[in-house]
Structure 1
Amino acid sequence: MFKSFAAASALAFALAVGPAYAQSGPSVVPGGVEEFAAMRDGVKLAANVFKPAGKGPWPVIVSRTPYLKDGPADKPEAPGRLAAQAKRYTDAGYVFVVQDARGKGRSEGAYLAFENDIEDGYDTLDWIAGRPWSNGKVGITGGSALGITGNAAAMAAHPALKAAYVVVAPSDLGEYRAPGGVPKEKDTSGWLKEQGVDDKVIEASRARIGDDVFWNHGSMSANRKYIRIPIYNVGGWYDIFQEGATGNFAWLQNHGAKGARGNQKVLMGPFGHGELSGDLAYPGYEQALKAAGDQEIRWFDHWLKGAPNGIMDEPPVSYFMMASARKGASSPKSRIMTSANWPPAHREVRYFLTPDKGLSTAPPTAEDSKTTYRFDPAKPVETVGGANLTFDRGPMDQRAIPTRQDYLRFQTPALDKDVVIAGPVKVELNAATDGPDTDFMAKLVDVYPDGYEAIVLDAPVRARFRNGRMADDVKPMTPNAPEELVIDLWGTAITFEKGHRIALHITSSNSPRFEVNPNTGEAAGGRKLKPRVALNSVYHDAAHPSALVLPVIYPEN
């Protein structure tokens, strides 16, 4: 199921106008009937409706998709595949509804990349609740863009919606598009350009990195307080939306409204938004996928049918603990673990940067120590793996990045015992630049005994956004004055095994994953100043310690 979501996810930000549609009748997908729902503004959205055998009404499961309910016209096998997916739900006793999003497929209107999905989600649920084949109890399901529309419908809080199953979806599209204030280049800006979106539209979006109502209209972090239903989240440690699964689960489980609080579940697996690249292979990969797929019908049976299947008696958190995983030599320490909450109970352990490019749990004692490098925007560091969408992704070997003065590798000695982490990872970086702005990039890396440098997590921070993205927080750097910049690497679960090394790589570019900073302090869109070479410094002395902060856990086995 994840492969199909990943293959479709490249459509997530397209702009399109829907074609004219026919009256309700048989769908091109076998077994379905095409019906149309009128939204509050009169726009009609097309849906395929699949019913179980026998006499209704029945509970309903719906997906709202920008990926074409009938499948792409150039893929004649699509209707059969979609019919098989629908049969999974109808065999379980549910009506299955899959609807083209506004402006997509056979739905009317203009597609504006999730801007209408809260309202359209509510109106679709209202339509479903009133249909003669519906008993008024509805669940919503889907992954990637379908997970985003599912979350939007949950925020709309229609009383007919009783539960959701959300796979690989973010908490904030704004944060996904520009983590740490650094726009993603290939996976958003570059991809939009390939789809024919006007350059002016792209530039306007790139320039709008600050925190404002535009980004927060459909933001889960701003609006999930309105959610009143149980949601089962599924995410991947190398997925582009990884933080959404754990972040949305944790907030709703612990702080959500009545109906949501205490009724959430999450499963995290060792996968990305598509097939992983590199020389690692996790032996429990298929097990994690199967575990996720097996839970969906159980979840809806419990919440839509009241089935006493025990799913709520099981731990709310299941996560895959990654470990040494070279192809053909994987470790038995890779396994699925459970927890009462996310993150699991852990101890923050700081690994401090040292002058000799080491990492040590002992705080630095030097009076004046820093490493300085020249960051030339014309010669960016190349992207090798990570949480990407449209190009190679996953735990690729960072040795592909050659030795260069602007790419700093800090690492521990070979470990004399396992270090096991599960939870959020961050870098507390004391750094300076000689101009008004620059970027700093951090990577958490698992270094194998043979030297393979497997990327685990990576993230950037744009210096002028170090204090936040609200207008009053944005501030240029004081040239050559060190300041702390916190880089949020999101979370993971991995065992750094005995004999391995824990590494932190620091640089100022990662292209084409992220936009390259011209170091001028100008926002994207309408830049006039010539890009400049920045002199950037990373500090590692007593007054300005820099540290990798890991969430260490102590499993019994």
Structure 2
Amino acid sequence: MSKPIHLALASALALTLATAAAGAPAKPAAEAVAAAPYRWPGLAPGAVEEMAAMRDGVKLAANVFKPAGTGPWPVVMTRTPYLKDGRIDKEHDPDGSKRREALVKQAKHYTDAGFVYVLQDVRGKGRSQGFYAAFENDVEDGYDSVEWAAARPWSNGKVGLSGGSAMGITANEAAMAAPPHLKAAYVVVAPYDLMQNSYMGGVLKEKDVLGWSKGQGVSDEVLNTQRRRVGDDIFWNRAAMSTNRKYIQIPIYNVGGWYDIFDHGNVSNFEYLQNHGAKGARGNQKLLMGPFGHGALSGDLEYPGFDRLNLAGDQELRWFDYWLKGVDNGIMDEPPVGYYMMAGAEKGQLSPKNRLLTSANWPPANREVRYYLTPDKVLSGKAPSGDGVKVSYRFDPADPVPTVGGANLTFERGPMDQRAIPARQDYLRFQTPALDKDVTIAGPVKVELYGATDGLDTDFMAKLVDVYPDGYEALVLDAPVRARFRHGRMPDDVRMMTPGAPEELDIDLWSTAITFEKGHRIALHITSSNSPRFEVNPNTGEAPGEHRQAPRVAANTVYMDAAHPSALVLPVVYPDGK
């Protein structure tokens, strides 16, 4: 993949310690000043280190790489918590030569194209001053850094932001501050809302959030605080894209992956900004979605065709040529959305139906088609009748269903074979008969689940699975819902369950694009745990992070009758087979 996606696959930080950036900037950073350029032994060849003073006097360090010739030039900036001079690897790169070579290659991507490249350490990282608190200062610091770069002698006053994952988050936060000289951004795999991403459906991503934090030496006290931070509050929303993207005034090219931890982020941000954004943003967005994750995919599927397209890097430079240089290269005459339509992809047997498609918007035109759950574990196109039809199971927190793949960061990820989960009474597999024709979907997937439990609270988990003719159960999407948060996560939305009473619990599985080919089966797996991907619910009804009561075994029930038509809802394209 190109440089931006390579950067994007490096980071877990976006999942972990994010609290909130402070409010919108009170004033421009025109008074931000730079110390004299300085060379030090850690610099990559061709770089000059410059210091930018933020509004509170803290100075942030940046490596500045300039094109050959005489400026001024447009600027592409990346703001990183991962050290502008690269990480030291005494085992594999003792003299730092590989590190410096990678940084030079990264900069050359831009300088050869006629841009100054600025790689800046965020506050408290690397050679920048201040205290590091993940994403708490990146609204103001992003604003001030853009305005500083615009005022430098080597700059023509037009600045773009580029980055993936954590660097995509810093780009989005700066864009929300609307610095006057920021003209465009290129954002790879970044979330729309850290709370919604870290606590999907109100359930904490156990291993990727707490597991990663613990590996960094975070105390148990802080980890328990993170467990309790599931509710919606001002601290999440001060820097949330979902709350503040209405202030963005620039074109953004979003690149995401169908198996990435931030799949929903790039899609959601594009949808909002393209259709409802402020002047300057609305109608000027681009989206590219590919078949990749936040790291190499695990399992027996692969999508080599997307790598050969090599679109991301080429499109980035075209994007900045258009918005920072005014080059009429036709990029804005092309469809706003490019997305990879996945299909059969067992290694060595890539179906020709895997292909890149375009669309005027996201999602493409589709129709919701419901596949109803039946007691004989079939997904049926016919709505259920009768009364009291249901399937029950016992959910024991001491014996959770193990995680096999999914949109993970710190462990195996992607479309892994769910047959690794053996038959067990608390894991319900529903599937269609073998398809007599292709079923193509593109857009958001959800499950309308009618569930009950014998206690006050529990979890339900759903997985969309593509079952191959040879039996391979390829995971496509998965997500949970915590019963108490079925109506939302504002304090007044929280409702405990009435024991034994069925209620609708909608599960948002996020978006995808896949063709379930003729001969395959569409499957929906329902359970109540998926560990260590998600925190295991103790079924006690205690508040998140409380452990005063011993976990209990819950009797959970899925209803599937006329009054409670549990269904998988798919965005089917060409529903009539045309």
Contact 1:71 1:79 in 2 (8 A): yes
Equivalence for 1:19: none
Equivalence for 1:482: 502
Q: Does 1:145 align with 2:170?
A: no
Q: Pairwise mapping of residues 16-415 of structure 1 onto structure 2 (< 5 A)?
A: 24-26=37-39, 28-74=43-89, 75=93, 76=96, 77-288=98-309, 290-415=310-435
Contact 1:449 1:500 in 2 (8 A): yes
- Counterpart Cα distance in 1 of 2:130 and 2:179: 23
Shift in Å, 1:102: 0.9
Contact 1:421 1:493 in 2 (8 A): yes
Match of 2:456 among 436, 457, 479: 436
- Per-residue CA deviation, residues 117-153 of structure 1 (Å, 9 max, x unaligned), is 1111001012111111111100000101000001001
Contact 1:15 1:111 in 2 (8 A): no
* 3-state SS, counterpart of residue 278 of structure 2: coil
Q: Which amino acid aligns with 1:179?
A: M
Contact 2:8 2:188 in 1 (8 A): no
Equivalence for 1:4: 6
Shift in Å, 1:15: 7.6
- Counterpart Cα distance in 2 of 1:11 and 1:129: 28
- Per-residue CA deviation, residues 13-54 of structure 1 (Å, 9 max, x unaligned), is 6789xxxxx974125111000011111111111100011111
Contact 1:2 1:274 in 2 (8 A): no
* 3-state SS, counterpart of residue 49 of structure 2: strand
Q: Which amino acid aligns with 2:494?
A: V
Equivalence for 2:564: 544
- Counterpart Cα distance in 2 of 1:146 and 1:203: 27
Shift in Å, 1:294: 0.9
* 3-state SS, counterpart of residue 26 of structure 1: coil
Shift in Å, 1:6: 4.7
Shift in Å, 1:407: 0.3
The 1:172–1:456 alpha-carbon spacing in structure 2 relative to 1, beyond 3 Å, is same
* Residue identity (%): 73
Shift in Å, 1:3: 5.9
- Counterpart Cα distance in 2 of 1:377 and 1:41: 49
Equivalence for 1:516: 536
- Counterpart Cα distance in 2 of 1:114 and 1:387: 22
Instruction: Give unmatched runs, 5+ long, in structure 1.
Output: 17-21
* 3-state SS, counterpart of residue 80 of structure 1: helix
Equivalence for 1:422: 442
The 1:213–1:308 alpha-carbon spacing in structure 2 relative to 1, beyond 3 Å, is same
Q: Pairwise mapping of residues 458-497 of structure 1 onto structure 2 (< 5 A)?
A: 458-497=478-517
Q: Which amino acid aligns with 2:344?
A: S
- Counterpart Cα distance in 1 of 2:143 and 2:313: 26
* 3-state SS, counterpart of residue 351 of structure 1: strand
- Counterpart Cα distance in 1 of 2:148 and 2:304: 44
* 3-state SS, counterpart of residue 515 of structure 2: strand
- Counterpart Cα distance in 2 of 1:11 and 1:211: 20
- Counterpart Cα distance in 2 of 1:51 and 1:482: 64
Shift in Å, 1:8: 2.2
Contact 1:171 1:247 in 2 (8 A): yes
- Per-residue CA deviation, residues 227-276 of structure 1 (Å, 9 max, x unaligned), is 00000000000000001111100100000000000000000000000000
Question: Comparing 533-542 with 69-78, which one deviates more in the overlay?
Answer: 69-78
Contact 1:384 1:392 in 2 (8 A): yes
Question: Comparing 386-395 with 79-88, which one deviates more in the overlay?
Answer: 79-88
Equivalence for 2:473: 453
- Counterpart Cα distance in 2 of 1:68 and 1:307: 32
- Counterpart Cα distance in 1 of 2:555 and 2:185: 49
Shift in Å, 1:311: 0.2
Contact 1:11 1:67 in 2 (8 A): no
- Counterpart Cα distance in 1 of 2:447 and 2:417: 21
- Counterpart Cα distance in 1 of 2:251 and 2:113: 20
- Counterpart Cα distance in 2 of 1:99 and 1:57: 19
- Counterpart Cα distance in 2 of 1:271 and 1:73: 28
- Per-residue CA deviation, residues 83-104 of structure 1 (Å, 9 max, x unaligned), is 1110111111111000011111
* 3-state SS, counterpart of residue 399 of structure 1: helix
Contact 2:9 2:165 in 1 (8 A): no
Equivalence for 2:21: none
Q: Which amino acid aligns with 2:7?
A: F
* 3-state SS, counterpart of residue 325 of structure 1: coil
Contact 1:170 1:241 in 2 (8 A): yes
Shift in Å, 1:110: 1.6
- Counterpart Cα distance in 1 of 2:355 and 2:478: 23
Shift in Å, 1:283: 3.5
Aligned length, in residue pairs: 552
The 1:86–1:142 alpha-carbon spacing in structure 2 relative to 1, beyond 3 Å, is same
* 3-state SS, counterpart of residue 493 of structure 2: coil
- Counterpart Cα distance in 2 of 1:90 and 1:282: 31
Q: Which amino acid aligns with 1:97?
A: V
Contact 2:485 2:495 in 1 (8 A): yes
CA RMSD of the aligned region, Å?
1.6
The 1:171–1:446 alpha-carbon spacing in structure 2 relative to 1, beyond 3 Å, is same
The 1:41–1:14 alpha-carbon spacing in structure 2 relative to 1, beyond 3 Å, is farther
Q: Which amino acid aligns with 1:219?
A: A
Instruction: Give unmatched runs, 5+ long, in structure 2.
Output: 19-34
Contact 2:14 2:194 in 1 (8 A): no
